[in-house]
Chains A and B, each alone.
Chain A
Amino acid sequence: MSIYILCLVLFCIGLYCVLRKRNIIKIIIGLGIVEYAVNLFFVLIGYQRYGRAPILAKEQKILNMVDPLPQALVLTAIVIGLAVTVFMVAIAIRLYEKYGTFDITKIKRLKG
């Protein structure tokens, strides 16, 4: 159970970074940390104690294997996370070109 709590602490650090920091790059980093924590949480739920990797081999009985379903879902989520990070960085670069700063309180012309 305590390993879940450590994972939760990692999530909370990312959440704090997203909500509190005012630098766009810091916000992107915070979202990355949140994503790591969620992926780790999924894999932790599927872990079987003393289990082995979900790869079949010849002349081996199927017993005590870790859950392959969360791993498959997380594999999808990691790649989508990369795409989202790249998209956010592209928007940040354009904002820097237009306003000359990464500080979100100084980007005021967005308010219309």
Chain B
Amino acid sequence: MELYLLLLFMILAAIVAVEINDLLSSVIAVGAVGLGLCLTFLILKAPDLAITQLVVEILSLIILIRATIKKDLPLVRDGRWLFNTLSTLLFIGFFLIFAWFALKELPEFGRPIMRISKEYIEKGLQKTGATNLVSAIILDFRGYDTLGEATVLFTAVMGVLAVIRMIGRINGK
């Protein structure tokens, strides 16, 4: 029950974040969505995810506020309003059609298909020695996945440094 309440809160906060005109208020509303997601993870019995989501949410909130502060601009609405809205609704309609096909194939909520995870749960302790099964999976069973994640993080940091760096320092005398 509290899951539904939290999801409704997240949806309301997302609508506020999308529709409000002030950029700073919008960023703060998206922070509310992220913190609601953190609580939802806690209810769904995923404490590792809740901790990570809390830290990541606060970091991304700080970065987004840094980008938007003192840079507000009024959103003007000019021609082609109808065309833009219609094409957007068309794309969402396409997505909903495919989602309808996918939803029919899903298992019922609360009864997951645990074909792979059964072995992880039963033999995780004696194979890896970790009592937390999530860390056993990300660091041992699927260690290459984590290696790829580290590569993506490194690439993103290099990209941010290359974009943010003041240009012309070498040729600037």
User: Please, how many angstroms separate the alpha-carbon atoms of A26 and B17 in the complex?
Assistant: 8
> Which residue of B is nearest A41, CB measured?
B106
With A71-B134, A82-B56 given, is the CB distance from A1 to B103 under 8 Å? yes
User: Please, how many angstroms separate the alpha-carbon atoms of A19 and B138 in the complex?
Assistant: 34
Residues in A with CB closer than 8 Å to B53 are: 39, 78
A68 touches B107 (CB 8 A): no
A96 touches B110 (CB 8 A): no
Min CB–CB distance A48 → chain B (angstroms) = 6
Interface centre among A62, A67, A72, A73 (most CB of B within 10 A): A72
Residues in B with CB closer than 8 Å to A85 are: 60, 63-64
Interface range for A: 35 or more
> Which residue of B is nearest A53, CB measured?
B45
User: Please, how many angstroms separate the alpha-carbon atoms of A49 and B156 in the complex?
Assistant: 38
What string of 1s and 0s marks CB contacts (under 8 Å) between A23-44 and chain B? 1011011101100100110011
Min CB–CB distance B46 → chain A (angstroms) = 5
B14 touches A19 (CB 8 A): no
User: Please, how many angstroms separate the alpha-carbon atoms of A16 and B68 in the complex?
Assistant: 21
Q: Can you name 30 A-B pairs with beta carbons within 8 Å?
A: A14-B14, A19-B87, A19-B92, A23-B75, A26-B18, A26-B26, A39-B53, A43-B46, A45-B106, A48-B112, A49-B111, A54-B45, A54-B121, A55-B132, A57-B131, A66-B46, A66-B112, A72-B142, A73-B145, A75-B48, A78-B56, A79-B56, A79-B149, A80-B153, A84-B156, A90-B159, A92-B67, A94-B164, A102-B71, A103-B76
Interface residues of A (CB under 8 A from B): 1-17, 19-23, 25-26, 28-30, 32-33, 36, 39-40, 43-49, 51-57, 62, 65-69, 71-76, 78-87, 89-94, 96, 101-103
Interface residues of B (CB under 8 A from A): 3-4, 7-8, 10-11, 14-15, 17-18, 23, 26-27, 30, 33-34, 37, 40-41, 44-49, 52-53, 56, 59-60, 63-64, 66-68, 71, 73, 75-76, 84-85, 87-88, 91-92, 95-96, 99, 103, 106-112, 114, 116-117, 120-122, 124-125, 131-134, 136-138, 142, 145-146, 149, 152-153, 156-157, 159-160, 163-164
New A-B pairs, 4, CB < 8 Å, besides A32-B60, A56-B125, A94-B163 = A10-B11, A12-B96, A69-B117, A102-B23
